[in-house]
Amino acid sequence: MSGNDSINGNKVGQMRPEDIVVEVNNVWKIFGKDPQQVLNSDIKSSSKEEILEKTGCVLAMKDISFKVNRGEVFVIMGLSGSGKSTLIRCILRLIEPTTGSILIHGKDICQFKRRQLDYLRTHTTAMVFQHFGLFPHRTVIDNVAYGLQIRGMSRKKRHARAEEVIKKVGLKGWEKYYPGSLSGGMQQRVGIARALATDPEILLLDEPFGGLDPLIRRQMQDELFDIQAEFKKTILFVTHDLHGATRLGNRIALMRNGEIIQIGTPQELITEPKDEYVRRFVQDAILAKVLTASSIMSQPGVTLYEWHKPDQALQMLAAKEADHAFVVDRSGKFLGLLNAQNLSEQRRGQSVIGAMEKITNTCTPESSVESLFPLAAASKHPIPVVDEDGKLLEQVETSAIFNSMIRRTEEEKGAGVS
């Protein structure tokens, strides 16, 4: 996956309309006897508790709107009961929204007839349910192959494909068992395998790793990460796991009592929380995992070309009172580091290359600050920030890494957050 806030090099929010895969507009879901009555009266703007008390209806989704772009991992988080499952189920109309529209590739699925809905559920999308949703009377392999069977694939072919995916989720050998004889975590993995088997364009994952122990969760996350890197699916991902979310998600929508309180990149939610709820929700996030080099990088002091002569280089260093410089080739590709001492020892050389120290501890703008710690510890000089082609962009100074951590700690103290 590329960085947290960009997809195919585009900043989220600046995508073209044709790249929008899912669009949810002003969707409400009210459970109860007379949802329309709630919707048509002023009480709808009251709190969830008040609505329940006065009308007996449960406000599960309140005026939800957002867009998900092609190839994006859109994470939905929030406390239990905040409306996450309701939201994700509405996208397949497993729950009917009370009002609002849900567009997939620009078509309002709320208007879909039976056949269109079936197609949506079996071809375009696949869902992993929070509570497994497996067929108890089908074996593991037939559960996993279910979507392919619906598509009319032969038994031999669909079993071959199912076996492949079962192996991926670590359940080889369990093909002939029934879900009832599997542990919760194993059933969850069958659910994941079933969703992956059909290779859908859109994946809807409701707490897919919820029942898994940490080691397997990590393994499944890695699997999802690889799938995403290779196939760039569009994924709506409900999770309680903030670290998993920050690792996998491009953007996070944080829900409370049926409303989306804030949508943003993990970094935005952590550095610019909209209110105390968001701040408290994300305060456990390890900042160093979420912040990236791009937020703390700065212009390099002195940059030299490989053809510069040592004398010229020394003059340039002296002019800027610098003790080191980065060296690049004609195309701007990063080559290495020069320090003033080596340079003066070799001042008679033809070019600076002879005095240059080759260093490999570069990073990219997307590198997490956490990944910079060992690089910073291994060198006295700033870390060069390069692009995919190795071209020098900027640098990260060791002091910037530590300052970013200290600033945050002080902010927290100031706000009285322990």
Ligand X SMILES: Nc1ncnc2c1ncn2[C@@H]1O[C@H](COP(=O)(O)OP(=O)(O)OP(=O)(O)O)[C@@H](O)[C@H]1O
Provide the binding-site residues for Mg ion, judged by CB under 5 A.
Answer: 85, 130
Q: Which of residues 278-317 bind ligand X (CB under 6 A)?
A: none
Q: Which does 82 bind (CB under 5 to 8 A by kind): Mg ion, ligand X, none?
A: ligand X
Stretch that binds ligand X, among 4-12, 82-90, 117-125, 272-280 (CB under 6 A): 82-90
User: Alpha helix (H) ranges present in 56-154?
Assistant: 84-90, 114-119, 140-144, 146-150
Compute CA 344 distance to the chain's CA centroid, rounded to the nearest angstrom.
48
CA distance 407 to 390: 31
Nearest of 88, 82, 87 to residue 257 by alpha carbon = 82
Residue closest to Mg ion (Cβ): 85
Q: Which does 270 bind (CB under 5 to 8 A by kind): ligand X, Mg ion, none?
A: none
Candidate segments 79-87, 169-177, 229-237, 290-298, binder of ligand X by CB under 6 A? 79-87
The Cα 366–Cα 370 span in angstroms is: 11
- Part of the chain binding ligand X (CB under 6 A), chosen from 78-86, 220-228, 276-284, 344-352: 78-86
Q: Binding ligand X by CB under 6 A: which of 38, 60, 120, 153?
A: 60
Amino acid at 179: P
DSSP of 345-359: HTTTSSSGGGGPBP-
- Joined together, the tokens standing for residue 241 give 């796991």
Q: Residue 288, SS3?
A: helix
Residue found by looking up tokens 């069977």 in the block: 149
Among all chains, which residue has been given the structure tokens 């699997």? Answer: 223
Number of residues that bind ligand X (CB under 6 A): 12
Per CB under 6 A, the segment of 1-9, 62-70, 76-84, 275-283 that binds ligand X is 76-84
91 binds ligand X (CB under 6 A): no
Per partner kind, with CB cut-offs from 5 to 8 A, the member of Mg ion, ligand X, none near residue 402 is: none
Site track for ligand X across 127-166, x = CB under 6 A: ---x------------------------------------
Q: Is 85 in the site for ligand X (CB under 6 A)?
A: yes
CA distances from 173 to 140, 198, 211, 220, 295 (A): 10, 21, 21, 18, 47
By the 10 Å C-beta count (0-12 exposed, 13-18 middle, 19+ buried), 350 is classed as exposed
Contact (Cβ atoms closer than 8 angstroms) between residue 93 and residue 24: no
Instruction: State how far the Cα of 282 lies from the Cα of 280, in Å rounded to an integer.
Output: 6
Does 355 interact with ligand X (rule: CB under 6 A)? no
Q: Which does 58 bind (CB under 5 to 8 A by kind): ligand X, Mg ion, none?
A: ligand X
Q: What 3-state class would DSSP assign to 76?
A: strand
Exactly one of 4, 55, 69, 82 binds ligand X (CB under 6 A); which one?
82
Q: Binding to ligand X by residue 81, rule CB under 6 A?
A: yes
Nearer to ligand X, 174 or 237 (CB): 237
Q: Which residues bind ligand X (CB under 6 A)?
A: 31, 58, 60, 78, 80-86, 130
